[in-house]
Amino acid sequence: MYGINGRNGAPTTVCEDVSATAKIGYGRVSTRDQNPDSQRDALTEAGCDKIFIDKASGKLASRPELDKALDYARAGDTFVITRLARAARSLKHLIELAESLRERGIDLLVLKQGIDTSTPTGRLAFHMLGAIDEFQRELIVEGTHEGLASARSRGRTGGRRPTLTATQVRMARQMYDSEEYTVQQIADTFHTSRATIYRALSDEGDFAYVVYRSSKPKVDNDGRSYGETGQGDHSRAQYDSDRMYWPLDDAKRHRAKAMVYVTDGIVTRIRAIDPNGQWTPDQRANGTYWEIPVTAPLTHDEITKQFPTLDLTLGDELPRQRGKQREHLAL
């Protein structure tokens, strides 16, 4: 004999306890050729009763398996992930996800970061994340108002027209989500650059500035060392090399939150960008290149706490695509 009260409307036998709680596991690989086995193994070891895995890249792509996992979960269940970045597109999305789970009576367990919202300590961690999110929004709003006032005082009332229309952005997103086109093919379709497509798909949010290098030290025409100096991550020479000089539009500076240095395909250092630091333009480049106020190299724990949605940490592999020296990674 069957009923109709199972999860998602599935029939249940009379002897089945539909009120029993479950652990729902969710994982995601950040590139289309990564293997999700390590996440699946961790979720299985954690005792997950059902596991959902997405193959999508960070903030840009849709996540059908995440939607299925959240739809499957019921009050009293525990939603299990290995890292915060696996489930959240951004810090804002992370807060919204946690609040939605709380309202539905579902606990959140993050295996690698020791967060369990069934405990007071775990709930406090999310309250702190919410406070950080609110603080960041206030800084952005304040900076925007100051920038607009400054522009108006100089007689400027608007920016340049967007390269892509809203319809073209929607089409580009559909092409990307289909996994049948590369970013270059999408850019060629709309007769624009890859950078424009990346900006359109990332919604122009906060980002980490990723720099690709080789391990061989280099010196410019003025005798300044740049790249990997070979003098140690915490040396003054490496600090100077890491902070100057980088091309970045003035309007984007307030959205740059971290610098990620990739050496020979491996993430070797991650530095935060000091929100109160001084950005100094390179006078030789008419202000288009900047000395960026970066912090000391972050530890694994500091990276996790400061950038919970950054899908990278020290030692991760990040091979450079041919010809690419820098890119913006959405947070």
What are the residue numbers of the active site?
30
Whether the Cβ atoms of residue 163 and residue 204 lie closer than 8 Å to each other: no
Cα–Cα separations (whole angstroms), residue 136 to 77, 94, 139, 301, 330 = 32, 14, 5, 20, 15
- How crowded is the C-beta side of 149, counted as CA atoms within 13 Å? 6
Cβ contacts of 214 within 8 Å, gap of 6 or more? 227, 228, 263, 264
